Amino acid sequence: MELRDVLYQMMQRNAAAMQPTDLCVGTVVSAAPLQVSLSAQTAPLEGAQLLLTEPVVEKKIPVLTHIHEMEGLSHTHTLSGLGHSHDTTGFAHSHTTGGLSHAHTLSEGQTGAALAGSYSSDEQLAGTFSSDQKLTGTYTTSGALGDVEMEGALSGVQCIENGQPLPVEDGYIILNRALAAGDKVLLLRVERGARYIVLSRMFEGV
């Protein structure tokens, strides 16, 4: 073996021993503060040791609403058969008036009493009175419901992750939930083990 081959092998062994970067699997032991354990023999990674990527941070949107606009609902109502008349009876009556007696005193003397006694009017409004026929013909109402706008919520929308629906919380649809205790995560070891990038959650094969 030549010297250059020996030196090359030594460099490879040295690089492998330093482990400048590699992939590993960890378990989230705490979400707040975030702690990730690599093994039971080592202390959990936390704080500045962990760098999060987009797939492991929470993303959510408000519950979606939608609007339906409908045109051409204008319509009218045509009514007929409202013609009618009124026949009224029982209005007959008379007036009896008394206490009209009086006299006038003048310089030449006094008149005699006048309008003494009671006076009765003839019976009035006797018989039956019929009004003219009213509301004959056809009546058309004005148009209604020209344009209608309805608003609703897409309350049945769900996001599915690994076959399980993600929750809807406080009016928000969870597109990507935050890390939680018990999650398995894929980490990239960088800076010779000084820091770890949390790439994504991991799931058991189904």
Q: Mean pLDDT per segment of 10 residues, for the chain of length 206 residues?
A: 82 73 89 92 91 90 70 71 70 69 70 66 67 67 62 63 77 84 94 90 79
Block residue for tokens 């959650």: 201
Instruction: Check residue 65 and give its pLDDT.
Output: 66
Instruction: Check residue 149 and give its pLDDT.
Output: 61
- Paired tokens of 11: 């460099």
Assigned domain for 149 exists: no
Predicted confidence (pLDDT) per residue in 96-122, tens digit: 766 667 677 776 666 666 666 666 666
Instruction: Give how many domains the chain has, as a whole number.
Output: 1
Do the strands 50-52 and 195-202 form a parallel or antiparallel pair, or are they unpaired? parallel
Assigned domain for 90 exists: no
Assigned domain for 187 exists: yes
Assigned domain for 197 exists: yes
| CATH code of the domain containing 49 | 2.40.50
Instruction: Check residue 113 and give its pLDDT.
Output: 67
Assigned domain for 22 exists: yes
Length of the chain: 206
Rounded-to-integer distance, Cα 99 and Cα 107, Å: 26
Predicted confidence (pLDDT) per residue in 146-170, tens digit: 665 655 555 566 677 778 787 777 8
Assigned domain for 51 exists: yes
Assigned domain for 84 exists: no
Residue 61 belongs to what domain range?
15-69+160-202
